[in-house]
Structure 1
Amino acid sequence: MNDMHGNSLKTLRQNLLKQRTAFAAEQNYAEIQASLIDHLNQLLSDQGNSWQSIALYWPIQDEIDLRSTLLAWAKKQPGRTLALPFARPDKHLDFYQWRQGDPLLASKHGILEPDPRNVERPPINPDCIFIPCVGWSSSVINGQSHYWRLGYGGGYFDRTLAELKKINSNLVCIGIGFDWQQLNDAQWAAQTHDEPLNMLLTESGLLR
């Protein structure tokens, strides 16, 4: 990737994050957030029985908060577990079981993470992963829609998903974003190292 593209990508990310902060302060934001959570609940009632473990994220910088919705999903049936990511120094993520009230550690990026030394919360490979998007795009390959996530630029999720998909070919990766975050090819096109998402959830519904 040339420097110009690297810099323009950095600017694009910064602009999208500024837009998200402004968007979260708008009057109708609570309504839009509620709409996204409604679609999430619909997804969980349709497909939630096929998953035993769901990985979520600890929200930062105006990311939409899925915690209470997913805690309710986990409580509905015994054996269901939630997991949070832990960023390793080699820029991969490990997922550890998470329960409400667990003590968490702040990463160098300021994100709260599970404590990998907590023997009561073992590492798990989740069945489904919810991933927040800074931006997203879609493309049609061989007649099939694919969804792509623009993240913060660390590459953690792409590396991790590539590994986890080898272990579990049924892994479901779902991007969480808003309609306005959709990018066109002129703004951003997924690179070969970008891992596609299975679905994308916005306030308008589920794209798959």
Structure 2
Amino acid sequence: MHGNSAKTLRQDLLKQRKEFASGNAYAAAEAGLIAGLSHFLANEGKSIRSIALYWPIQNEIDLRPTLLNWKKNSAQNRLALPYARPDKHLDFFEWQEGDVLIPSAHGVPEPSPENTARSQLIPDCILIPCVGWSSSIANGKTHYWRLGYGGGYFDRTLAQLRKGNPKLICMGIGFDWQQLDDSQWAAQTHDESLDLLLTESGLLR
């Protein structure tokens, strides 16, 4: 484990992401990642009717413009943002451009569950930003894992949602350089695997 602490690893990765976001290579990586998402939406996305996105913080890549364009393609397409419950699970509420959001306990803009104009929904696809990511092979199949901010919100939520919807698509969003090896970090038994991982190099399954 990096410095004997996942917390230290997260801090280092967030510092690297901040430096990367202000560097010369960021624009090309951003364009490659958005192109990959656009390709996914134009093909496999045709059967998806609701996507939960994230509100970008701490130099996370901003996918909102791309997803708003996808939403405009069909009146049936819906977008949602997560609301962090006190029990550290997430609920998802429909989001439309221009909605007033409230700051969560962690300072992340999120929908208000008291907004009766926006219904709660269970998304077909969830996009999750990665602080870091790794892969492992079991029974000849590659699995991808996300290192997040340490709150466990997504792991708890995915475990619950997958029981009711085995077809749920969970896609991690990250950069190539964020890949970790076993000496740095390994997924734990409570970690939920990603169905897909999107980086600037393409979509990993």
- Shorter-chain TM-score category? over 0.9
User: Which digits, 9 at most, give the CA deviation of each residue in 1:120-150, with x for residues without a partner?
Assistant: 1111000000000000001111111110000
Q: Does 1:182 align with 2:179?
A: yes
2:125 maps to: 128
Normalising by structure 2, report the TM-score. 0.98
2:83 maps to: 86
Partner amino acid for 2:155? D
Distance (Å, rounded) in 2 between the aligned partners of 1:60 and 1:122 = 24
Distance 1:6 1:169, change over 3 A: farther
Distance (Å, rounded) in 2 between the aligned partners of 1:5 and 1:202 = 23
Give the conservation status (yes or no) of the 8 Å contact 2:2–2:9. Answer: no
**Equivalence map 1:185-200=2 (5 Å):** 185-200=182-197
Distance (Å, rounded) in 1 between the aligned partners of 2:151 and 2:142 = 25
Partner amino acid for 1:202? T
Distance (Å, rounded) in 1 between the aligned partners of 2:158 and 2:3 = 22
What are the ranges of 5 or more consecutive residues in structure 2 without an aligned counterpart? none
Secondary structure at the aligned position of 2:119 is classed as: coil
Aligned counterpart in structure 1 of residue 61 of structure 2, from 46, 64, 75 = 64
User: Which digits, 9 at most, give the CA deviation of each residue in 1:171-191, with x for residues without a partner?
Assistant: 000000000000001100000
Partner amino acid for 1:151? G
Distance (Å, rounded) in 1 between the aligned partners of 2:161 and 2:118 = 19
- Paired-residue identity, %: 66
Q: Does 1:118 align with 2:115?
A: yes
Distance (Å, rounded) in 2 between the aligned partners of 1:110 and 1:7 = 28
User: Which digits, 9 at most, give the CA deviation of each residue in 1:70-113, with x for residues without a partner?
Assistant: 01001101111000000000000000000000000011111000
Deviation at 1:5, TM superposition (A): 8.2
**Equivalence map 1:138-149=2 (5 Å):** 138-149=135-146
Secondary structure at the aligned position of 2:137 is classed as: strand
Normalising by structure 1, report the TM-score. 0.96
Aligned CA RMSD, in angstroms, stands at: 1.2
Q: Which has the higher contact order (CA 8 A, sep 6+)?
A: 2
Deviation at 1:28, TM superposition (A): 2.3
Distance (Å, rounded) in 2 between the aligned partners of 1:150 and 1:28 = 23
2:102 maps to: 105
1:173 maps to: 170
User: Which digits, 9 at most, give the CA deviation of each residue in 1:147-182, with x for residues without a partner?
Assistant: 000000000000000000011110000000000000
Give runs of ≥4 in structure 1 deviating > 2 Å.
4-7
